[in-house]
Amino acid sequence: MKFYLLSSDADTLVGLRLAGIQGKLLQKNEDALLQIEKISEDKDVGMILITPAVAKALGSSLTELKKKNLPLITEIPDSNPQNNSADNVTDYIRNAVGIKI
User: Which range of residues forms the domain containing residue 80?
Assistant: 2-97
pLDDT in tens, 60-76: 888 888 887 778 888 88
Q: How many CA atoms lie within 13 A of 48 on its CB side?
A: 26
Give the CATH number of the domain where residue 26 resides.
Answer: 3.40.50.10580
Distance CA 20, CA 14 (A): 10
pLDDT band at residue 86 using 50, 70 and 90 as cut-offs = very low
**Does residue 10 surpass a pLDDT of 70?**
yes
Number of compact structural domains in the chain: 1
